[in-house]
Amino acid sequence: MVAGRVKWFSDVKGFGFIIVDGEPEDVFVHFRVIEMAGRKTLVNDQKVELEYERTEKGPFATKVIPLNKEE
Protein backbone atom coordinates (compact mmCIF):
# COMPACT_ATOMS: atom_id res chain seq x y z
CA MET A 1 0.00 0.00 0.00
CA VAL A 2 1.17 3.51 -0.78
CA ALA A 3 -0.04 6.91 0.38
CA GLY A 4 -1.86 9.23 -1.97
CA ARG A 5 -4.10 12.28 -2.13
CA VAL A 6 -7.32 12.64 -4.13
CA LYS A 7 -6.83 15.09 -6.99
CA TRP A 8 -10.53 15.02 -7.88
CA PHE A 9 -13.44 12.62 -7.75
CA SER A 10 -16.85 12.86 -9.43
CA ASP A 11 -19.81 11.27 -7.63
CA VAL A 12 -21.84 11.62 -10.83
CA LYS A 13 -19.31 9.81 -13.02
CA GLY A 14 -18.10 7.43 -10.30
CA PHE A 15 -14.40 7.94 -10.92
CA GLY A 16 -11.51 10.30 -10.38
CA PHE A 17 -7.76 10.54 -9.95
CA ILE A 18 -5.28 10.20 -7.10
CA ILE A 19 -1.83 11.80 -6.84
CA VAL A 20 0.93 9.47 -5.62
CA ASP A 21 4.41 10.81 -4.78
CA GLY A 22 6.98 9.39 -7.17
CA GLU A 23 4.36 8.44 -9.79
CA PRO A 24 4.60 10.75 -12.82
CA GLU A 25 0.96 10.12 -13.84
CA ASP A 26 -2.23 10.50 -11.83
CA VAL A 27 -3.74 7.17 -10.75
CA PHE A 28 -7.25 6.45 -12.08
CA VAL A 29 -9.74 5.34 -9.41
CA HIS A 30 -13.22 3.85 -9.92
CA PHE A 31 -15.76 3.82 -7.09
CA ARG A 32 -15.86 -0.02 -7.12
CA VAL A 33 -12.33 -0.28 -5.66
CA ILE A 34 -13.03 2.08 -2.71
CA GLU A 35 -13.20 0.09 0.51
CA MET A 36 -15.66 1.74 2.88
CA ALA A 37 -19.13 1.23 4.30
CA GLY A 38 -22.06 3.06 2.74
CA ARG A 39 -21.76 5.23 -0.33
CA LYS A 40 -18.36 4.81 -1.95
CA THR A 41 -17.01 8.27 -2.63
CA LEU A 42 -13.90 10.37 -2.13
CA VAL A 43 -13.36 14.05 -1.33
CA ASN A 44 -10.87 16.29 -3.14
CA ASP A 45 -7.53 16.50 -1.23
CA GLN A 46 -8.52 13.52 0.97
CA LYS A 47 -5.64 11.28 2.02
CA VAL A 48 -5.89 7.64 1.00
CA GLU A 49 -3.90 4.43 1.02
CA LEU A 50 -3.99 2.48 -2.21
CA GLU A 51 -2.68 -0.33 -4.33
CA TYR A 52 -2.39 0.25 -8.05
CA GLU A 53 -1.15 -1.34 -11.27
CA ARG A 54 0.39 0.13 -14.39
CA THR A 55 -1.06 -0.66 -17.82
CA GLU A 56 -0.54 0.71 -21.32
CA LYS A 57 -3.38 3.16 -20.52
CA GLY A 58 -1.64 4.35 -17.35
CA PRO A 59 -1.86 3.57 -13.64
CA PHE A 60 -5.17 2.46 -12.13
CA ALA A 61 -6.12 1.78 -8.51
CA THR A 62 -7.03 -1.78 -7.53
CA LYS A 63 -7.77 -1.00 -3.86
CA VAL A 64 -8.36 2.36 -2.12
CA ILE A 65 -8.81 2.93 1.60
CA PRO A 66 -9.94 6.47 2.50
CA LEU A 67 -8.31 7.96 5.58
CA ASN A 68 -10.03 10.27 8.03
CA LYS A 69 -9.31 13.94 7.50
CA GLU A 70 -7.59 14.04 10.91
CA GLU A 71 -4.95 11.51 9.80
Give pTM, 2 decimals.
Answer: 0.90
Q: Is the dihedral of CA 66, 47, 32, 13 positive or negative?
A: positive
Q: Looking at the predicted structure, is the pLDDT value of residue 5 above 50?
A: yes
Rounded Cα distance between 42 and 58, Å, is 20
Q: How confident is the model at residue 71 (pLDDT cuts 50, 70, 90)?
A: very low
Q: Which residues pair with 10 in a beta bridge?
A: 15
Q: What is the CATH number of the domain that holds 14?
A: 2.40.50.140
Per-residue pLDDT of 10-39, as tens digits, reads 999 999 999 999 999 999 999 999 999 888
Q: How many domains does the chain have?
A: 1
Residue 71 inside a domain? The answer is no
Residue pair 27/57 in contact (Cβ under 8 Å)? The answer is: no
Rounded mean pLDDT, 3-7: 98
Residue 15 has what pLDDT? 98
Burial (Cβ within 10 Å: 0-12, 13-18, ≥19) of residue 52? buried
